[in-house]
Every structure is written in C-alpha cells, then in structure tokens.
Chains A and B, each alone.
Chain A
Amino acid sequence: MNDPAPTLQQLHPLGILASRPLTLILAIALPLYAAVMTWFGWADVSSPFLAITAVVAIAGSCLSLLAWSGPQFAPFPRRGAIVAVAFALAALGIEASAGWTQNQFIRDDWAGPAIGLVLIALAPYRPPAELVVLGAAATGWAALVAVVESPWFVTDVPVPVFVVVLCAPILAMTLGAAAFARSLIRGLEKWRERATAAVSALDTTRTDWIARSVQQGHITTLNQRVVPFFAEVLLSDEVTTETSARARAIADEFRSAMVEEVDRGWLDGVVAQAARGASATSQLAPDVVDDTWRLSRSLGIDARTAIRALLVALFGHPDFVPNSLRITVSPDGTRCRVVLAATVDCSENRLRSELAPYFAVMRILFPDQSVAFAAPALRLKFSYER
C-alpha cells in the first residue's frame, strides 16, 4: 500500500475481486466495439493500417487493465493505470490520423467513449483523485484532437461543438467513475468508524468477561500447588531448608509454565483455533509453527485478520491435510518472511477458485505474496515490515 489515497481494492478486496468479471467483459467488449465501429466507418478511413493500429492500441489498453487487475498483481499499481490510459489516448490519436481529411462525423468516432470506459474500468482499482487527473488529461488530449480534425468535418457547427462531442463522454465517465469510487470509499470508511465505536462500547463488557475467564484459569493453577504451599508456610510461620527447596521447585515449575505460555506466539493460537473449528486438532503436527522470535506479533490487525481467515478457509477445505501444515516466520533484515506449506489434494483450478478470495485479501496486505501450487503441495510466501 504505497499510495497514500485509499482505493476500493484496498478497502474492499473481496468485493472488487468479485467484480473483476466486469473488467474482463469490458476488456473483451472494447476492442470488439472499436473493430465494429471501424468496420462501419470504413468509408471515412484514409489509412487502413492506422485504423487497425488504433484497434490494436485499445486492445493493448484492455490487456494492461486485465493483467494488472488480476489478484496476483494486486494492488493495481499507478503505472498500470497510466499505461492503460496512455494506450487509449494513443488509440484516439491514431484513429484521428487514420481518418485524416476523410473523417466527416466526429460522433461516429469510437475512441472517445472507449477512453471513458477504460476510466470506468479503473474505478475499483485507483483513487478517485487519480481518476480525475487521468480523465482531465484525456479530455485535454481529446479536445486537441477535435480541434485538429475539425476542418474536414461536414457538420456546420462551431469548433467548440466538436470538442464537446468528443470530450463529453470522456468527462462524464471520468467523473461518474470517480464519484462511484468516492461514494463507496466513504461508505467503507464510515462503516469502519461505526465499527470502531461499536467495538469501544462493547470493550468494557468484553474485557470483564475475558478477564474473569483468565483470572479463573490462573486461580485454578495457583490452587494446585502454590496456595497450599503458601498456606502451609504462613501457618508454620517459619522457613526451613525444605521450605526453601520447595519454594525453588515450585517457582521453577511455575516459571516454566509461564515461559511456555509466553513463548506460544499469536500464530500458534490461530492455528490451534482454526484446527479446533475444523475438529482437526488431533491431526496437527507438533511443530506446525516455527516462529522462534515471535515475529508474528508484529503483524498489524488487518494482516492478522487476513491470515486467520486464510487458515480458517484452509482448514475448512475438504482436501486439506492438517498434519502437512508448516508455517515458518523468520527475520530478514527489517522484514519478516513467512512461508506456509501445506498439502491440499485437489486440482490447481479448484484450489485457486476456492481460495482465491483469501489470496486476494492477503495480496492487498502483503503485496509480495506468491502462491505456488504443484498438486498437492501448496506453498505460500509473503513478507512484511516489522
């Protein structure tokens, strides 16, 4: 998440993953639309080569969109948006060149609406302000093209009307896309605020309930050896060699138990909980998590949520083999590297389709995430800043 302004993809990765088919359909439909419009306007074409090149350019724009919107490349980078729009702007210029001196009606030109649709397709992936900047640049370029082309249009209207005809679709779709993204982003942020307030309101109740449960656990432990020992010492009111030896032995035992508890990292707890949820506790290997430095504790809350969701989904997968799970967290300079290895006895297509939403969420939080699957071995790697 290098960009300061949030995007829908970052705030609502699952929703955006679900709407990716929209990007796919647009990516297929746009070159088709361009090709059909070119075919019907063939009489206005002075350079067939350039006319076809313009269609190829818009196809290039769509390919860029398609490539960078894939969950494996999330979050969609700024350079991806610039490349996609640059291809579309090139298509506009080339289309105008292809109809040099012969293009009679600007309203039949397909490149203007195509640029607008490219900007709509970018709405889920880039910040609204960036969409507006790209749209403004595209509108400026379209205005220039319209002015240059205007001498050979047959319609008897002033030049600004041609500019309006070419620019209006771009501007309308740009602002529409930006307004759509902005509204959803605001909705998400408001939801977060409300959720935070709700959590704060519940916190005292929740804290009390958990505190009592934790305290009860400790009292049970104390009652086993510590309390009887202290009671005995207080009653006798004297310290003997045997008293000191017992105190030392109990202290060692107590400290060992506490050290063990302290050493149990966050990841151990999540794996244990996910396994319990899938009734697979007994099938877990003893050394599932290797997090010697307890580095998993330095994960942010969203990152921890994403990992927890992935593990729950993994344990819920019918072909997952619980005792194959190994997670290693190791330091690497200022970063921590995590490797998750597991056996999932199914085809790659099935694995990717069923776990795709979780990988997508992870990818937003860990942009360097890589998922390798050579059936049945799944290997997921990612890193994060400490």
Chain B
Amino acid sequence: MDADFRVATRFIPEYALPLGLPNHLAPVSISRAYSRAARAIALVSLSSGLVATVAIQVDAPQRMVWPAGLALVIFFAAVLVFSSHRTAASAAAYLLIGGACMYWYAITGAFELGPTGRTDSFLLALPKIALIMVGAGSAPGSVALWAVAGFLVGEGATALAATQAGVPLALDGTTLIVLTVSFLLVGIITVNRRAATRAQSTVNRAARDEQLAEVRVRIEAKAAAVMHDTVLGHLAALAAAPEGRLAPEVRAQVSRDLQVLLGEEWLLSAAERDTGEAGSQWRTTALFGAIADARDLGLDVEVSGDVSVLDSVGAEKATAIALAAKQCLVNVLRHSGQESAEVVVYGSEREVSVMVVDGGRGFSEAETGADRLGLRQSVRRRIEVVGGDVQVWSTPGRGTSVMIRVPVDVSGAGAAAAPATGSRHPGASLAP
C-alpha cells in the first residue's frame, strides 16, 4: 500500500435547510421570544422585591412589612399561571391580579419600605416593572399596547394607594425608562426585520433550489453508473469480441438491458425507495449476487470476514456496495492479469467496510486516464452518493486494494441488505 490515490472529494447527501426563519413565521417567533423575556424580567423583579421585603422584615421585626411580601408571592404565582398563555383574556387576568397585588404591596408595605415614602422608590418600581412585562400580543403593536396597559395599571394602583396613605405622587423615572426601552427594542426589531425580508426570500429560494439540485445530482450519478455498467460494458464487449457469431450471453445481456433501459423506469428502482424490508441472509444479499456474477465471468473470488454486518445498512447502500464491489471485481478480471480476488467484509458500530484485494499488476494513477470512468462512476461516485468513501491503494507489480466504506444506517436494526434476486438493478445484470 505504497501509493494512496485517495481523492479528497466527499459528496454529502443531506437535505438543504433554510437559513433563518421564513418571513411569515418571524413576527410570531419574535413576539413569543419577547413574551419569554418579559416573563423572566417580571419574575426577577418580583423575586428581588420579595428578597428586599424579607430582608427589611428580618432586620426590623417590629415593622409590619410581611403582607407586602405576601402580595408579591401571589403576583409571582399569577405570572407563572397567566404569562405562558399570551391570550387577551389571560393578559387581562394578569393585569387585574397584578394590579390588585400592586395596590396591596403599596398600601401594606412599600411606603414603609421606601426611604422617604415616595411613589418613585425603586422597591415600588419592581412590581410595576412586572406589570409592564405582561408580554401579551402576537404583533409588535399589540405587544406595545399591552405594555402601556401594564404601565397604567401599575401607576394607577400606586396612585390609589398613595392617595389613601397621604403620600405625595411623584413621576417614576425607572418604570418610564423600562417602558421606553421595551418600545425601542420591539420597534427596532420590527422595523429592521422588514428590511431583511427580500434577502431572506432569496436565501430561502436558494435553499429550495439546492434541495432540488441535490436530488438531481444523486439521480444523475446513479444514471451514469448504470450507463457505465450496461451500455459502455456492452460496447466494450462488442469492441473486444472476436469476429463471427455474436456470443449468446452477450446477446442475451444486450437484449435484456436495452429492454430495461428503454422500457422501464429503471431510475425508480427498489433501491431508490429503500423500504428496509429486504432479507438479511448472506445468500440473499446484493453483494452475494455481485460476487456470483463475477464468478460466472471466470473470476475466483474468496470471501472472508463478517458478512452479517451487511444487515446494518439499508437496501440502497447495500446495492451501492454490491455494484461498486462488482465493478472492482470486473476491473480485476480486465486489468490485473489475475483470475482471483479476495473480498473482505467487516464492520463496526459506525460503518461497513468491503475490501476488494487482488495480487495483480496494479496500476499508477497516471495510467487510469482512459478507463477512469469505471472507478470514478461505478465505484467512487456510487459510494459517495450514499455517504460513503472509497480508498484505492495500488502499486505497480504488487496488486491493488480497494476499500469501500459506508456508514451504517442510524436506525440500525431493521435496515437490511438488498436482495440479489427479483429486483436486481439493471447494472447488476451486466456481464461485460
């Protein structure tokens, strides 16, 4: 294994996904996210108020501030119950209960808590912030309106309590700033999201086009491999055939493949629609069928390793492995000068490996130009489209080893190798 002709191209079969949210989902997602953020802020505000209340009560047991703490506990519960629904009814209930708790908090303790009995104290601002953070509404405009409603309820409850307690009213700068910042955040996100709409559409369209291109590439690769295995194989056989009567087996294969290629939907084969229901016995696998075909051509093939690992790949991968291995065996027969080859099958939890080894004349990369299509299409590309890779080690005069590796299916059990009979791919019937 002196020379490593591994070509570092790896085809990754996967589905294209859109980068970012589609435009129609963005407003809902943003308002939901705003609601989650509002709930977090409300809970922290109320918790902070509660901690402060407890600290004051512990510090001065003679003061009656614990009822204010109780109001915050009820408000906290209301946040948990109502803020997750985001309907108008639950938001109204939130404001109603929150407003009542606000009044209770203010009248029973907050003015006691505050340093000078002012309505703009920070401790009084905390539940008012929780009211602003009602977080309802499914569009930016309604989100802003609910926030204003929360602000008004908070200020109204405070004003009522202050009037009853005889405390002078003062403009609460903290809650005003919170309300303004909320408006700014929602407004800017909304306005600028519209600016991104056009580019987002282009990206999403590109994602869809990429999906289609992905599918087409996979199918084109399969078609090319089939063409190589059938049409080119038959042409090569005819070009090399001795003069005289057409060999019966060549005649039969040409007739059969032409019939299939022109008359059936050969690209919609069973391999394309992987049902994962094929048998798991070695003799029913596609690889066994491929090896049998190679033996029919006169190649002595020895199989070793653990063939049961083929059960861990689905029909599509099993077919790809079989057809690629068969092309390798055909190459041995055509180019190696040997009439024997070894196929070693082994696997791990992550992949199935099939190695085709011969002790023939080998080749160098430069010599593969004229016939490179076989290795490229029928082996490498065929394996790459099912997510695997192929490594070739060959040294002139010392033989060739081709390693085919395919990842096992995630579903694992239940995926089974494709049957060798009954639904054989047209390419599998080729005997060049």
Could you jot down 11 A-B contacts, CB within 8 Å?
A13-B19, A157-B56, A165-B122, A176-B40, A195-B18, A214-B216, A234-B255, A238-B246, A250-B235, A309-B205, A358-B203
Total number of B residues with any Cβ neighbor in A under 8 Å: 111
Binds B, one of A17-25, A49-57, A279-287: A17-25
| Smallest CB-CB A-B distances: 10 pairs | A357-B199, A18-B196, A309-B206, A251-B235, A168-B48, A247-B238, A183-B33, A211-B267, A180-B37, A160-B55
Whether B97 is near chain A, meaning CB under 8 Å from some CB there, is no
In whole Å, how far is B60's beta carbon from the nearest beta carbon of chain A? 8
Q: Which residues of B contact A11 (CB under 8 A)?
A: 19-20
> Counting CB contacts under 8 A, is B422 at the interface?
no
Measuring CB to CB, which residues of chain A are less than 8 angstroms from any residue of chain B?
Answer: 11-15, 17-22, 25, 107, 113, 117, 120, 154-158, 160-161, 164-165, 167-168, 171-173, 175-184, 187-188, 191-192, 195-196, 199-200, 203-204, 206-208, 210-212, 214-215, 218-219, 222, 226-227, 230-231, 233-234, 236-241, 243-245, 247-248, 250-251, 254-255, 258-259, 261-262, 266, 269-270, 273, 293-295, 297-298, 300-302, 304-306, 308-309, 312-313, 331, 357-358, 361, 386
Cα distance, A13 to B18, chains bound together (Å): 11
Which of B49, B58, B224, B238: most chain A Cβ within 10 A?
Answer: B238
- In this complex, what residue of B is CB-closest to A261? B224
Contact status of A208 and B268, CB under 8 A, knowing A21-B192, A164-B51, A179-B36: yes
Please name all residues of chain B whose beta carbon is closer than 8 Å to the beta carbon of A195 when the two chains form the complex.
17-18
Q: Contact flags (1/0) for B252-269 with A, using CB distance below 8 Å?
A: 001100100110011110
Q: How far is the CA of A92 from the CA of B197 in the complex (A)?
A: 39
Task: Note all chain A residues with C-beta closer than 8 A to B199.
Answer: 14, 309, 313, 357-358, 361
Query: Of residues A175, A214, A245, which shows the largest number of chain B Cβ atoms within 10 Å of its Cβ?
Result: A214
Query: Could you tell me if A237 and B246 are in contact, using CB atoms closer than 8 angstroms?
Result: yes
Establish whether residues B55 and A361, one from each chain, have CB atoms under 8 Å apart when the complex forms: no
B26 near A15 (CB under 8 angstroms)? yes
Please give, as numbers and ranges, the residues of chain A lying within 8 Å of B43 by CB-CB distance: 175
Q: Which of B19, B232, B251 contacts A302 (CB 8 A)?
A: B19
B36 and A168 contacting across the interface, CB-CB below 8 Å? no
Q: Write the chain A residue with the least CB distance to B226.
A: A218
Q: Which residues of B contact A (CB under 8 A)?
A: 7-12, 14-22, 25-26, 29-30, 32-41, 43-45, 48-49, 51-52, 55-56, 58-59, 113, 115, 121-123, 126, 129, 174, 177, 181, 184-185, 188-189, 192-193, 195-196, 199-200, 202-203, 205-207, 209-217, 219-220, 223-224, 227-228, 231-232, 234-236, 238-246, 251, 254-255, 258, 261-262, 265-268, 272-273, 372-373, 376-377, 381
Query: Do A262 and B246 contact each other (CB < 8 Å), given the known contacts A15-B20, A180-B34, A214-B223?
Result: no
Closest CB in chain A relative to B53 CB, distance in Å? 9
Least CB distance, A80 to chain B, in whole angstroms: 21
Most buried by A among B21, B251, B265: B21
Q: Which B residue sits closest to A293, measured CB to CB?
A: B9
Q: Is A238's CB under 8 angstroms from B245's CB?
A: yes
Question: A160 to B353, alpha carbons, bound, how many Å?
Answer: 66
A244 touches B240 (CB 8 A): yes
A234 x B251 contact (CB < 8 A): yes
User: What is the minimal beta-carbon distance from A236 to any residue of chain B, in angstroms?
Assistant: 8
CB of B235 within 8 A of CB of A247, answer yes
Known: A180-B37, A222-B262, A308-B209. A258 touches B373 (CB 8 A): yes
Which residues from chain A contact B231 at a C-beta distance below 8 Å? 222, 226, 254
Apart from A157-B56, A196-B15, A386-B8, list 8 A-B contacts with CB within 8 A.
A15-B26, A18-B193, A154-B115, A157-B52, A206-B215, A211-B268, A214-B216, A227-B258
User: In the bound complex, do residue A215 and residue B192 qualify as a contact, i.e. CB atoms below 8 Å apart?
Assistant: no
A219 to B210, CA, bound (A): 25
Q: Decide if B44 touches A172 in the complex (CB within 8 Å).
A: yes
Known contacts A195-B18, A196-B17, A237-B251; A386/B29 CB under 8 A: no
- Of chain A, the residue at the smallest CB distance from B202 is A309
A177, A181, A218, A269 interface centre (most CB from chain B within 10 Å): A218
Return chain B residues, CB-CB under 8 Å to A302. Answer: 16-17, 19
B126 and A211 contacting across the interface, CB-CB below 8 Å: no
Q: How far is the CA of A132 from the CA of B223 in the complex (A)?
A: 53
| Of the residues A13, A120, A215, A308, contact of B206 by C-beta under 8 Å | A308
Closest Cβ–Cβ distance, residue A185 to chain B (whole Å): 9
Asked if B227 and A164 sit within 8 Å, CB to CB, the answer is: no
A118 to B11, CA, bound (A): 43
Q: How far is the CA of A255 from the CA of B32 in the complex (A)?
A: 58
Minimal Cβ-Cβ distance residue in A for B59: A158
Residues of chain A within 8 A (CB-CB) of B227 are: 218, 254, 258
Inter-chain contact B202/A312, CB cutoff 8 Å: yes
Give the interface centre of B185, B231, B244, B245 by most chain A CB atoms within 10 Å.
B231
A-side contacts of B22, CB under 8 Å: 191
User: CA separation between A195 and B234, bound complex, in Å?
Assistant: 44
Using CB atoms, name the residue of chain A closest to B235: A251
**Smallest beta-carbon distance A264→chain B, Å:** 10
Cβ B20 vs Cβ A179 within 8 A: no
Q: Which residues of A contact B261 (CB under 8 A)?
A: 218-219, 222
Select B41's contact among A175, A196, A211, A251, beta carbons within 8 Å. Answer: A175
